[in-house]
Structure 1
Amino acid sequence: MVDNSELPFRMLCRRYGATAAYTPMLHSRIFSENEKHRSMEFTTCKEDRPLFVQFCANDPDILLQAAKIVEPYCDYVDINFGCPQRIARRGNYGAFLMDNLPLVKSLVQNLSANLYVPVSCKIRIFPRLEDTLAYAKMLEEAGASLVAVHGRTRDEKDGKKFRADWDAIKAVKDALRIPVLANGNIRHLDDVKDCLEHTGADGVLSAETLLENPALFAGFRTKEWKEDGDEDEVSGLDQADLVIEYLKLCEQYPVPWRMVRSHVHKMLGDWFKVHPEVREELNKQSKLTFEWLHDMVKRLKDLGGGIPLYRNKDALQTTSNGLAASNA
């Protein structure tokens, strides 16, 4: 989810029930060396809390240097040990550090010993449960104060093809004394309730689903996940409304246009299926402006065919049972 959890999007998710949020994954070496990169990739505000600042790293000293910069502005410094992408393989970070557990341990120990904010870790599971449990216990012993478990292995990249293993997450929760967050299979708020009940986790994370529906934690769901009983619970809210809110937040908290473009594509995905010609206009627009984007959304709404979000009243109490986090 690199580039997809910048400040305006975090603030939008918080408006709709996310009780904590992660920054995008920041490259510790580039972040510590390049001031211009820092100013573009990491922004926050006093309302942006609780906040996890997420780094990828493979050098304990460089990671500490980067973490010291953000320490005054966050509630956790998070080490991403879960990224399974090819860029992580090439850079030797993320889930590919599962092949070098002594290095993983040293990264956590160095931060834990030298920061005054707690250290958290996001991991994926091993194919064998005993390896996953040993891994999680090692992180706790090294000084991690919280572990977020993505219930898929490093090779299970496609969330629609591979279901997350909630049993493995439950086993980790049962084995540790520190808080454990569950990640995987969160498509709407009923999944939040089911995951908390199944795993006993202290909270849940959602990433990909939030890109299409940042209002997930407020009980809204897209047509893809609408249930028969939701027919009379049309919310009066749709993705186009969320885009308008997001654009206003971007005007308040400026971020690179590539991030804005990415979110607009995701949140308007259902609308673009009905009006692909408008999507093509967006793709051809080399230089975006807020005026152009607001006009595009207005034209979409005038054309009609938008898909409403639905709200299930029975699901609206589940976020009080745990931490609902925007993990993008």
Structure 2
Amino acid sequence: QEKLKGFEFWEKVLGGATRIVAPMVDQSELAWRMLSRKYGAELCYTPMLHASVFLRDQQYRTEGLASCPADRPLIVQFCANDPDVLCNAAMLAQDHCDAIDINLGCPQAIAKRGNYGAFLGENWKLVEKLIKVCHEKLSVPITCKIRVFEDLEKTVEYAKMIERAGCQLLTVHGRTKEMKGPMTGLASWKHIKAIKEAVKIPVFANGNIQYKSDVERCMTETSVDGVMVAEGNLHNPCIFTDTRPVIWDIALEYIEYATKYPCPPSYARGHIFKICHHGLQRHTAARDLLGSSRDLKDMKRSVELLRDACVETCWVDKDGVNDSLPFRHWFCQPYVRPAPKPKENKNGQISKTKLKKMMKRCRKSGDLGVEGLDPAEKAKKLLKIIEEKSPKKVYDICVKCGNPGSSRCAFKSCKPCCKSRSREIDVSCTMH
């Protein structure tokens, strides 16, 4: 049977999906996908899978392809830089999904070291071959997820090349590969709109989605066929609905799905931390218990502890911690990435590293010369002043005995006090 292409594939196989949950490493597992589908997600992706590992590791394959009849439509995403490896891995997965997606957008350091994701964006011949080989040999369509370039024309040409190679649906993250972490910034819908106007296949947009209204606004402004959400979905799995879920209700519901569709404890713990982020900042006992949790039973206890603490205190909201939040802290919040921290030190002085470079430079030239003082000596003197005025390193203090402790300890304690506390409540600390 001939596989469907382009809009026919999107409409008949994917059901014309417009609300999509992104592929997220260790985060878009089956339990999370099922929760997201309940609250409006029409299409989900698996976490990104490494094609080479997928080929050689049976357990990795089993975990990566974990699904159920209700988990459709589903797209499996791979990262790779070898066409044959990618194609062979995709052949093992094609009977378990509706399409294979090639990750051409991961900006992380591990993608740079492995030469995949967004770092393939400068090797168009390899990208073309990856897509073409899979398009010709697989029984399901090939889709791609990319990031943009700063240059708009280059971005459009890249998208058109990907379409010519055989891609049947394109997801565009409107940020460059350099825009990550604290320097993420806003995604460019202008680039996404230009790609949509230039290609003849369905296009999904990714970036700048905090509320359900942003989904509708993005589709209106860019004319895309669907909107993919990542971080916004992790902090509020009901983002595609008009509901405003209470954090402990949605966390407990996720735990039920994770019980039915098992996943590694670290995945579940990460989800609960994101859902309950602002509540856990206020009620640290629940946070500490969650941080040291070993299984879903422990995680459920921590969420129940958070719920009880909120029910008892948050309706009064005495200390005004919620002033900067859109909603009270017991509701799921839109995801807002923290602003980057300033590079200068606390005293607003030149950093030691910069000053050492200055010393090296002034030895070669006299640009820092001061009357009566050799340039190199001037730099040495400045360095000495910085070192004298720099605040001494402050160690964490054990909350119980006052000795040096660790902020990474589940109980913010020193090792002996941590052991004592662990025995009292029968909870282990991952630090100690």
The structure with more strand, counted as a fraction of residues: 1
Counterpart of 2:229, as a letter, is: S
Counterpart of 1:81, as a letter, is: L
2:262 matched to 1:254? yes
Superposition CA RMSD, Å: 1.6
> Following the alignment from structure 1 to structure 2, what is the Cα–Cα distance between the partners of residues 18 and 4?
15
2:316 matched to 1:293? no
Sequence identity (%): 44
What is the CA-CA distance between 1:253 and the residue it aligns to? 0.8
Check conservation: 1:212, 1:239, Cα contact below 8 A.
Answer: no
> Following the alignment from structure 2 to structure 1, what is the Cα–Cα distance between the partners of residues 227 and 301?
36
Counterpart of 1:187, as a letter, is: Q
Pick aligned residue for 1:280 from 282, 285, 288: 288
Q: Which moved more, 1:291-300 or 1:179-188?
A: 291-300
> Following the alignment from structure 2 to structure 1, what is the Cα–Cα distance between the partners of residues 32 and 183?
23
Structure 2: gaps spanning 5 or more residues: 1-23, 315-328, 335-432
> Following the alignment from structure 2 to structure 1, what is the Cα–Cα distance between the partners of residues 83 and 242?
40
Counterpart of 1:69, as a letter, is: L
> Following the alignment from structure 1 to structure 2, what is the Cα–Cα distance between the partners of residues 161 and 37?
31
What is the CA-CA distance between 1:161 and the residue it aligns to? 4.4
> Following the alignment from structure 1 to structure 2, what is the Cα–Cα distance between the partners of residues 65 and 178?
25
Alignment of 1:186-265 (within 5 A): 186-220=209-243, 235=244, 237-265=245-273
Alignment of 1:131-146 (within 5 A): 131-146=154-169
1:220-240 Cα distance to aligned partner (Å, 9 max, x none): 4xxxxxxxxxxxxxx5x3121
Secondary structure at the counterpart of residue 210 of structure 1:
helix
Counterpart of 2:130, as a letter, is: L
Larger Rg: 2
> Following the alignment from structure 2 to structure 1, what is the Cα–Cα distance between the partners of residues 176 and 195?
14
1:165-220 Cα distance to aligned partner (Å, 9 max, x none): 00110000000000000000011111001100000000000001111100000124
1:242-295 Cα distance to aligned partner (Å, 9 max, x none): 11111111111111111111111111102101102221222233x22x222222
Report the equivalent of 1:267: 275
The two structures have a TM-score, normalised by structure 2, of 0.66
Higher relative contact order (CA 8 A, sep 6+): 1
Check conservation: 2:286, 2:303, Cα contact below 8 A.
Answer: no
1:83-117 Cα distance to aligned partner (Å, 9 max, x none): 00000000000000012110000000011001111
User: Residues 190, 18 of structure 1: CA spacing in aligned structure 2 closer, same or farther, 3 A cutoff?
Assistant: same
Report the equivalent of 1:5: 28
> Following the alignment from structure 1 to structure 2, what is the Cα–Cα distance between the partners of residues 308 and 125?
34
Report the equivalent of 1:227: none
Report the equivalent of 1:317: none
Check conservation: 2:55, 2:89, Cα contact below 8 A.
Answer: yes
The two structures have a TM-score, normalised by structure 1, of 0.87
> Following the alignment from structure 2 to structure 1, what is the Cα–Cα distance between the partners of residues 251 and 51?
31
Report the equivalent of 1:24: 47
> Following the alignment from structure 2 to structure 1, what is the Cα–Cα distance between the partners of residues 214 and 178?
23
User: Residues 198, 126 of structure 1: CA spacing in aligned structure 2 closer, same or farther, 3 A cutoff?
Assistant: same
Check conservation: 2:118, 2:177, Cα contact below 8 A.
Answer: yes
Counterpart of 2:254, as a letter, is: Y
Alignment of 1:37-116 (within 5 A): 37-116=60-139
Counterpart of 2:309, as a letter, is: L
Report the equivalent of 2:178: 155
